Structure 1
Amino acid sequence: MALRAELIGQDPGRAQLRLHGLAAEAGSLRLQIRRNQGPDTYLGGEGRWQSSPDFWFPVSASSRTPTADGLDIAVGPEIVDPIAAALAGNAFQVTIETPAGVASATIIIPQQPILLASGAAGAPQRRAAEPEPAPPPPPTPEPAPPPSRPTLTADPDRAPIERSSGSRFGLIVVILILVLALAVAGWFFRDKLLGATEEAPQPAPAAPAQSELEQIKTFLAANPNAPERLAKARETLAACQLNWASVLYRDLGQAGDAEAALAMGRFYDPVDPVCPEVGAPNRTVSSDTAAFWYRKAIDGKSVEAMRRLGAMLVAPGKDTPKYQEGIDLLKQAAQQGDADAAAKLKELGP
């Protein structure tokens, strides 16, 4: 049975490397991780990519779990973090060395659960050092006692002045008139004031916006089927939401969907990339990555992938090693009715 490998996300920075077709043997076990883009293609120590294939990760017995058809290996941030950081622009391969020999397989990374690096939102963070406690404030001085009030005494030289009863009656009349005027004004404006208060709608509280990662997780939590995921991928690609589209298309393309693999190739095509004003997420264009996905689409009988890969291979010129392969792919596409491939061949000449 051929070796198959899956990297299944768990908590941020943690995953299960599931190996199908591998006998769960006792003894020493070690593995090596490689990506398809260079020049630093091998994963080394401390999560750094390097050019030489001299670094291997030992697999302890405690991290292995036998399965019905192979072995599960628990891996941590030293493997998960660098793969998650380079996920959008690379395909990955694992090589496993057992007492029986060495075997390699392309790593399939399922769409759900999402593979998250240890620094992703919600991961535990290192606590900052607690600040020194502030010194207690100085005691508040007691307030000075208020000055004693002078004792009021009657002036023996002056008799109290009495006000006439007529002036008191006039003051009472003025107060009554003011009270009546205020009551009438309040009655007159009451309906307008109350109506304005009732008609003014209360603003609804704004719902907090979800991040793009949260939107993807919410969509995938409903466990959509392949046609639903493909429809959502087309929608997000048309809107140039390439983080969304790449998550959905990558999983479908790895499962053999030719349309999804073609879309993934266009994310990285240096000749004709999709949404060139946006660019693919977390990467620059890459002919190696584009070719990897175009070949998967060609395996699914995609004529457009033949034409696009052929155009990409002939673009550097006739003196390049893959120019003739590009011509052959354009010819195959033209023979199957692709008018753009025929026009490209005519443009290139004999």
Structure 2
Amino acid sequence: MNLADKVLAINNDLPIRTDAPVHSGKVRSVYWLTEADSARLVEEKGYNVPSDTPLAIMVISDRISAFDCIWQGEGGMKGVPGKGAALNAISNHWFKLFKEQGAAESHILDIPHPFVWIVQKAKPVMIEAICRQYITGSMWRSYVKGEREFCGIELSEGLTKDAKLPTLLQTPSTKGILDNIPGVPAVDDVNITRKNIEDNFEAFNFKSLDDITLYEKLLTEGFDVISNALSELDQIFVDTKFEFGYVKDKAGNDKLIYMDEVGTPDSSRIWDGEQYRAGKVVENSKEGFRQLLLNHFDDADILLNKDRMDEREALARDNELPLSVLMDVSKTYTEIAEKITGSKIELSENPKAEIIKILREQYQLID
């Protein structure tokens, strides 16, 4: 079996029993279970949720996305070996740490396989909850252009690229395209202020004004838990994106929880501490891949300019990246995952067959 066969690139074709279409995102696919299977699993597995909670199987892939496009490599390599397992392992590690330290729970109820989560249905808060400890990325690009207000926050003069910010900043953006919110353009990933959220909290799916303060508290707490743990490994937690949503507890009450992944190389920037102190930024996250793409193509504006999306999609579709590029990304993901979790990331021989076997034999979700 060659290496490309060990990559799980297509994850929306598993024969899982479901009544709804499979929802496939950039990296994960979601299978909503039938009402009968959801109720059966809640009872059989003793999940701490109401008996009528809808459940889903969430399957990660090894696909690599950047600049809102999926990229591929030569030799039929449709993803990055080890990436999916590394992402899930890191998220699982942080969620476990959150639980141990009394932070909020996540939507994950069970982990049948390194590529698979069983999750409960959550109503997402329509905010990309972003926290920044250093000035880099889009914030730095805005700062260089002379902008001194970012998400309603005043930035002081004299900041330098990649420098630590005086305080931890929360710089939210919209999750998806939200229509008819005063002062908020109907564009995906547009920066918003706290006042935007307060004035329109229901449009962002918050249950109350107080829950805005709660989400900010959970964002800071989650950031601090990960940042402190990474600093013990001499890694710097630069910035990150969390997502939040509401679920019902066993008594039927709403509670705000963490959704999706946390503290991964896909959702965060992580820098090597030793190299940073020596004046060099070494990325242990997807940011290194983004920078490589910006340098790889002649016209970087295609990747940065949302008005050139058609050209960008053609670039991703028509260009196979050198195998060495994807293997470098694989090394970045697996090494940081092993550093964080203390366990080796093993490449599955045939991840799809393994997943089907487990979901059939242990969960009776495949006929």
TM-score in terms of structure 2 length: 0.25
Of Structure 1 and Structure 2, which has the larger fraction of its residues in helix? 1
Larger relative contact order (Cα-Cα within 8 Å, sequence gap ≥ 6): 2
Considering only CA atoms, is the larger Rg found in Structure 1 or Structure 2? 1
